[in-house]
Amino acid sequence: MGEFVSKQVKMLFWVSVISIVALHIRNLIIGDSKYNFLLWNLFLGFVPLLVAWLVQRFESVLPVVVFWAGCAFWLLFYPNAPYMISDFIHVDRSESYVLYDALMIFNIAILSTFYGLYSLKIVQNVVAKRYSLKLANIVVGASIVLAAFGVYLGRVLRLNSWDVFTKPLETFRIILEHLFPFSENPQTWSLVVIFSALQVFLLILVYGMYPNGKDS
């Protein structure tokens, strides 16, 4: 698996470079920088991959509390990866270069999503190695659902990952208000279901890229 993952990381690196260059070329040609926010969103999408790699790298020496704290920190930022799929709402259809902008956003959004999916795979492998595959699969399932809700919090309610630290009580209150009761929050639960299903679908495709359908 190590060689395969190494190839995928290299691929993600070069696609990242190409995507950033394409954005800057677009800025030079058009003469504005209104899509530069994509760079920040892409960085936030990369954070969970970095955190997952660090947890994997030092897993053997991490105490139990630190290990799970690292996983929790990863989960806090993981929704930022699939979140970029929703950046399509920024496409300006009135512009003559709308197709280029759409393709650029699509490329960066998919790249960020793959950051997240690979980080999810790393976390699954680490938890399975340290505990069990059953627990690892539970962690993956819970992470997918929580990430879908995180996308709703970010896109619809405009909350950020760091709001948990800067205004925890207000953030917790807002979360509860948009979850319960079920009957009064159909938009929340509909989006959670849709984004959860999308992540599962993409995850199946990513897992299918492993040789012989195996990841180790």
Distance CA 13, CA 2 (A): 16
Q: What pLDDT score does 211 carry?
A: 44
pLDDT tens, 17-76?
999 999 999 899 888 888 899 999 899 999 999 999 999 999 999 999 999 999 999 999
Closest-CA residue to 114 (of 36, 207, 3): 207
- Quote the CA–CA distance of 99 and 3 in Å, as a whole number: 36
In the block, tokens 């069990």 appear at: 132
The confidence score (pLDDT) of residue 141 equals: 94
Helix (H) or strand (E) holding 209: none
Contact assessment for residue 154 and residue 142, using Cβ atoms and an 8 Å cutoff: no
Q: Token match 């079920």: residue?
A: 182
160 and 79 in contact (C-beta within 8 Å)?
A: no
Place of tokens 């509909």: 190
pLDDT per position as a tens digit, 88-140: 888 877 777 888 888 888 889 989 998 998 899 999 999 999 999 999 999 99
Q: What is the pLDDT of residues 167-215, one digit of tens each?
A: 888 888 888 887 777 777 788 888 889 889 988 888 888 766 554 444 4
Are residues 169 and 88 in contact, defined by beta-carbon separation less than 8 angstroms? no
pTM of the model: 0.81
Structural contact between residues 216 and 125, judged by C-beta atoms closer than 8 angstroms: yes
pLDDT for res 209:
55
146 contacts: CB under 8 Å, gap ≥ 6:
75, 79
| Integer Cα distance of 166 and 151 in angstroms | 19
CB 1 within 8 A of CB 215: yes
Q: What single string gives the DSSP state of each residue in 154-202?
A: HHTS---TTHHHHSHHHHHHHHHHTTSSGGG-HHHHHHHHHHHHHHHHH
